[in-house]
Amino acid sequence: MMKLPIRTLVLALASIALASCNKPRVIPDDELADIFYDVYLTNAYVDRQGIDLDSMMLYEPIFEKYGYTVEDLHLTINSFSKRKSARLSDAVEMAIQRLELESDLLNAQVADLDTINAIARRLTVQRIYFDTTIRMRSLSDTARMKRHIPIPRAGEYRVEYYYQIDSTDKNPSHRSVGYFLDSAKHRSKYYTSRYRRQTRDKYSHSFIADSSVVELVLELCNLNAKPKRPHFTIDSLTVKYYLPREEALDSLTALNFGFRLLVDGFYTPEPPATAADSALYFALPPRIE
């Protein structure tokens, strides 16, 4: 939310109040702070939306909401010069403090929602493929580096594994390749990445499948056109499926209410990733097959 400088706000409101004077009355400080609060919100919305409106059209409805006029505001602003115990900036500060308090509360609520979404995502992730160790020690092993993984439904699929290129491997380039195939064998979401040498490193990439996809193809090690004898290892190859956010939240709600949700006959949650998740997960009754 954009905060207007106090001087700018006061001048803008005071300029409107100069229009006329018909038996005005002084606005109490607390109500004046409420008016300033609404003015801040209105200005923030107008600026964000890029709306070009006359200031009279913006502020008069706010005054009317509280039963006052621009003349009342004019009198109130002038009255502060005669009141030694009060300042106009105090009313503005009250409005700012209210805005900051509500902003903090909203930020806390957003953080809570982010945490809930993260827990729902972790607890409902589905592992659809796993392989412990895959070694490539000869050129004939290159055929073993390709995997065809059925895709049961649209959504996000994350591929993760560790790899290591030994110093005895003389191939100049090692690449991972991944892509989707539809029923007509057309490719989509093609992705390639070059491996780092002589260190055990982690590969991780997310593929987003639409409803036409039937298969994920992984070429775990693609060498150059004239490959030499390799020495390459992959371990802990995992392909995970993540439910859409709404389904994950529904599943988390179902878990909290004491039963596990079966989504299209395809729901096998992984063990909890954190202690907080474990407390929630293991407090629930076991899944009924």
Half-sphere exposure (Cβ direction) of 28: Cα atoms closer than 13 Å:
4
- CA–CA dist 88, 77 (Å, integer): 7
- pLDDT at res. 217: 95
- CA–CA dist 57, 54 (Å, integer): 5
Highest mean pLDDT among 28-32, 109-113, 175-179, 265-269: 175-179
Q: Which structural domains are found in the chain, ordered by start?
A: 6-119 (no CATH), 127-242 (2.60.120.260), 244-289 (no CATH)
Query: How far does Cα 26 stand from its chain's mean position?
Result: 47
Kindly list the distances between the CA atom of residue 132 and the CA atoms of 77, 141, 228, in Å, as whole numbers in the listed order: 75, 16, 25
Kindly list the distances between the CA atom of residue 54 and the CA atoms of 16, 32, 35, 61, 133, in Å, as whole numbers in the listed order: 10, 21, 18, 12, 70
- pLDDT at res. 183: 92
Coil, strand, or helix at residue 289? coil
- pLDDT at res. 266: 42
- CA–CA dist 275, 218 (Å, integer): 33
* pLDDT surpassing 70 at residue 57: no
Best CA proximity match to 155, nearest among 55, 45, 60, 247: 247
Average model confidence (pLDDT) across the chain: 77
**What is the C-alpha end-to-end distance of the chain, expressed in Å?**
50
* pLDDT surpassing 80 at residue 114: no
Residue the block writes with tokens 């929602």: 113
- pLDDT at res. 261: 42
The secondary element (H helix, E strand) that includes residue 194 is: strand 187-194
Residues 85-107 have pLDDT tens digits of 667 777 888 888 888 888 878 87
- pLDDT at res. 92: 82
Which residues partner with 126 through β-bridges?
241, 269
Q: How confident is the model at residue 288 (pLDDT cuts 50, 70, 90)?
A: very low
Predicted TM-score (pTM) of the model is 0.53
- CA–CA dist 117, 270 (Å, integer): 16
Residues 21-53 have pLDDT tens digits of 457 888 888 888 888 888 888 877 777 777 766
* pLDDT surpassing 90 at residue 179: yes
* pLDDT surpassing 60 at residue 14: no
- CA–CA dist 39, 9 (Å, integer): 9
Residues 214-267 have pLDDT tens digits of 999 999 998 877 888 899 999 999 999 988 877 777 766 665 554 444 444 444
Q: How confident is the model at residue 282 (pLDDT cuts 50, 70, 90)?
A: very low
